[in-house]
Amino acid sequence: MRGCLPAPLCRLASTGGQALVALLAGCAPWAHGPRVSPVESGLPGEWIGPVSLGADTTLWRFAADGKLVQVQIKPGQQLRETPFGPFRVYADAGRRQLICFSFRRGRTLPACRYFQVDTLIQAAGARRQLRLLQWVDEKHETQEIWIEKTP
Protein backbone atom coordinates (compact mmCIF):
# COMPACT_ATOMS: atom_id res chain seq x y z
CA MET A 1 0.00 0.00 0.00
CA ARG A 2 2.33 2.64 -1.28
CA GLY A 3 1.91 6.14 0.09
CA CYS A 4 -0.43 5.02 2.87
CA LEU A 5 -0.05 6.97 6.12
CA PRO A 6 0.05 6.33 9.00
CA ALA A 7 1.80 2.99 8.58
CA PRO A 8 -0.04 1.10 11.39
CA LEU A 9 -3.37 1.79 9.69
CA CYS A 10 -1.95 0.54 6.39
CA ARG A 11 -0.91 -2.74 8.02
CA LEU A 12 -4.32 -3.07 9.67
CA ALA A 13 -6.09 -2.49 6.38
CA SER A 14 -3.94 -5.00 4.56
CA THR A 15 -3.54 -7.75 7.18
CA GLY A 16 -6.52 -7.94 9.44
CA GLY A 17 -8.94 -5.13 8.88
CA GLN A 18 -11.70 -7.52 7.87
CA ALA A 19 -11.27 -9.56 11.05
CA LEU A 20 -11.41 -6.42 13.18
CA VAL A 21 -14.56 -5.20 11.45
CA ALA A 22 -16.18 -8.62 11.99
CA LEU A 23 -15.15 -8.57 15.66
CA LEU A 24 -16.55 -5.08 16.24
CA ALA A 25 -19.81 -5.98 14.49
CA GLY A 26 -20.09 -9.04 16.73
CA CYS A 27 -19.86 -6.80 19.81
CA ALA A 28 -23.00 -4.82 18.97
CA PRO A 29 -25.30 -4.43 22.01
CA TRP A 30 -27.98 -6.66 20.42
CA ALA A 31 -28.57 -8.51 17.20
CA HIS A 32 -31.24 -7.16 14.92
CA GLY A 33 -32.17 -7.64 11.32
CA PRO A 34 -32.55 -5.04 8.59
CA ARG A 35 -34.33 -1.75 9.19
CA VAL A 36 -38.05 -1.69 8.32
CA SER A 37 -40.03 1.43 7.43
CA PRO A 38 -42.66 2.47 9.98
CA VAL A 39 -45.40 1.94 7.36
CA GLU A 40 -44.24 -1.62 6.58
CA SER A 41 -44.11 -2.41 10.31
CA GLY A 42 -47.83 -1.68 10.74
CA LEU A 43 -47.24 0.84 13.55
CA PRO A 44 -48.59 4.13 12.11
CA GLY A 45 -51.85 5.12 13.74
CA GLU A 46 -53.16 5.61 17.25
CA TRP A 47 -52.95 2.86 19.84
CA ILE A 48 -54.78 2.82 23.19
CA GLY A 49 -52.70 1.43 26.04
CA PRO A 50 -53.68 -0.98 28.78
CA VAL A 51 -56.18 0.62 31.15
CA SER A 52 -56.02 0.24 34.92
CA LEU A 53 -58.78 1.24 37.30
CA GLY A 54 -58.70 4.93 38.17
CA ALA A 55 -55.76 5.63 35.85
CA ASP A 56 -55.40 7.95 32.90
CA THR A 57 -55.79 6.58 29.41
CA THR A 58 -52.57 6.55 27.43
CA LEU A 59 -52.52 6.73 23.67
CA TRP A 60 -49.47 6.37 21.43
CA ARG A 61 -49.56 8.15 18.08
CA PHE A 62 -47.04 6.60 15.67
CA ALA A 63 -46.44 8.67 12.53
CA ALA A 64 -45.34 7.32 9.16
CA ASP A 65 -42.25 9.59 9.34
CA GLY A 66 -40.92 7.72 12.40
CA LYS A 67 -42.04 10.06 15.18
CA LEU A 68 -43.97 9.05 18.30
CA VAL A 69 -46.19 11.20 20.50
CA GLN A 70 -47.66 9.98 23.78
CA VAL A 71 -51.08 11.41 24.68
CA GLN A 72 -52.34 11.31 28.29
CA ILE A 73 -56.12 11.54 28.57
CA LYS A 74 -57.54 12.48 31.97
CA PRO A 75 -61.30 12.67 32.47
CA GLY A 76 -62.48 16.30 32.52
CA GLN A 77 -59.08 17.72 31.52
CA GLN A 78 -57.27 18.65 28.34
CA LEU A 79 -55.10 16.14 26.54
CA ARG A 80 -51.40 16.25 27.38
CA GLU A 81 -49.13 15.43 24.45
CA THR A 82 -45.49 14.45 24.99
CA PRO A 83 -43.25 13.99 21.94
CA PHE A 84 -41.08 10.89 22.31
CA GLY A 85 -38.93 11.74 19.30
CA PRO A 86 -37.94 9.37 16.54
CA PHE A 87 -38.24 5.62 16.58
CA ARG A 88 -36.80 2.93 14.32
CA VAL A 89 -38.09 -0.51 13.47
CA TYR A 90 -35.96 -3.57 12.67
CA ALA A 91 -36.95 -7.00 11.40
CA ASP A 92 -36.40 -10.03 13.61
CA ALA A 93 -37.07 -13.75 13.39
CA GLY A 94 -40.62 -14.79 12.48
CA ARG A 95 -43.31 -12.12 12.78
CA ARG A 96 -41.56 -10.32 15.62
CA GLN A 97 -40.08 -6.92 15.04
CA LEU A 98 -37.97 -4.64 17.18
CA ILE A 99 -38.85 -1.02 17.91
CA CYS A 100 -36.08 1.25 19.16
CA PHE A 101 -36.80 4.57 20.82
CA SER A 102 -33.82 6.79 20.09
CA PHE A 103 -33.76 9.27 22.91
CA ARG A 104 -33.52 8.28 26.55
CA ARG A 105 -32.14 10.77 29.01
CA GLY A 106 -28.84 9.70 30.52
CA ARG A 107 -28.44 6.65 28.26
CA THR A 108 -26.12 6.11 25.33
CA LEU A 109 -28.01 3.20 23.76
CA PRO A 110 -31.61 3.32 22.52
CA ALA A 111 -34.35 1.48 24.38
CA CYS A 112 -35.56 -1.38 22.18
CA ARG A 113 -38.55 -3.66 22.61
CA TYR A 114 -39.87 -6.61 20.61
CA PHE A 115 -43.40 -6.30 19.25
CA GLN A 116 -46.03 -7.84 16.98
CA VAL A 117 -49.01 -6.29 15.21
CA ASP A 118 -51.91 -8.74 14.93
CA THR A 119 -55.42 -8.50 13.52
CA LEU A 120 -58.32 -9.58 15.74
CA ILE A 121 -61.52 -10.74 14.07
CA GLN A 122 -64.53 -9.91 16.24
CA ALA A 123 -68.29 -9.73 15.70
CA ALA A 124 -68.01 -5.93 15.40
CA GLY A 125 -65.29 -6.24 12.75
CA ALA A 126 -61.53 -6.54 12.50
CA ARG A 127 -59.28 -4.62 14.88
CA ARG A 128 -55.54 -4.53 15.14
CA GLN A 129 -53.63 -5.05 18.35
CA LEU A 130 -50.07 -4.13 19.19
CA ARG A 131 -48.39 -6.65 21.45
CA LEU A 132 -45.37 -5.17 23.19
CA LEU A 133 -43.11 -8.00 24.31
CA GLN A 134 -39.94 -7.91 26.39
CA TRP A 135 -37.31 -5.20 26.22
CA VAL A 136 -33.95 -6.17 24.74
CA ASP A 137 -31.84 -7.89 27.41
CA GLU A 138 -34.83 -8.24 29.73
CA LYS A 139 -34.79 -11.57 31.58
CA HIS A 140 -38.56 -11.98 31.94
CA GLU A 141 -41.28 -11.03 29.51
CA THR A 142 -43.56 -8.15 30.41
CA GLN A 143 -46.21 -8.13 27.71
CA GLU A 144 -48.58 -5.23 27.07
CA ILE A 145 -51.53 -5.24 24.68
CA TRP A 146 -52.43 -1.98 22.94
CA ILE A 147 -55.58 -1.75 20.78
CA GLU A 148 -55.80 0.36 17.62
CA LYS A 149 -58.05 3.38 18.05
CA THR A 150 -60.88 3.32 15.57
CA PRO A 151 -62.60 6.47 14.31
The CATH number of the domain holding residue 91 is 2.40.128
Which position has the higher pLDDT, 139 or 64? Answer: 64
Give the integer Cα–Cα distance in Å for 13 and 2: 12
Task: Give residues with Cβ within 8 angstroms of 8, minimum separation 6.
Answer: none
Split at pLDDT 50, 70, 90, the class of 13 is very low
Residues 63 and 74 in one domain: yes
Taking 60 as the threshold, does the pLDDT of residue 9 lie above it? no
Residues 3 and 54 in one domain: no
Long-range contacts of 122-129, Cβ-Cβ distance < 8 Å, separation of 24 or more: 128/42, 128/45
DSSP state of 50: P
Instruction: Please tell me whether residues 5 and 57 are part of one structural domain.
Output: no
Let me know whether 35 and 108 are in one domain. Answer: yes
pLDDT digits (tens, 9 = 90+) for 107-127: 666 788 889 999 888 888 888
Strand partners, 120: 127
75 and 16 within one domain: no
- 83, 14: one domain: no
Q: Indicate the helix (H) or strand (E) that contains 3.
A: none
Instruction: Indicate if 61 and 8 belong to the same structural domain.
Output: no
Q: Do 94 and 22 share a structural domain?
A: no
The count of domains in the chain is 2
Question: What is the per-residue pLDDT for 73?
Answer: 86
What interhelical angle do 17-26 and 7-15 show, nearest 10?
80
Mean of pLDDT over the chain: 76
In the chain, the percentage of residues whose pLDDT exceeds 90 is: 29
Domain span at 117: 31-148
Evaluate if residue 26 carries a pLDDT over 50: no
14-18 mean pLDDT: 43
Domain co-membership, 1 together with 55: no
67 with 134, same domain: the answer is yes
Is pLDDT of 39 > 90? yes
Residues 66 and 126 in one domain: yes
Tell me, yes or no, whether 24 and 67 share the same domain.
no
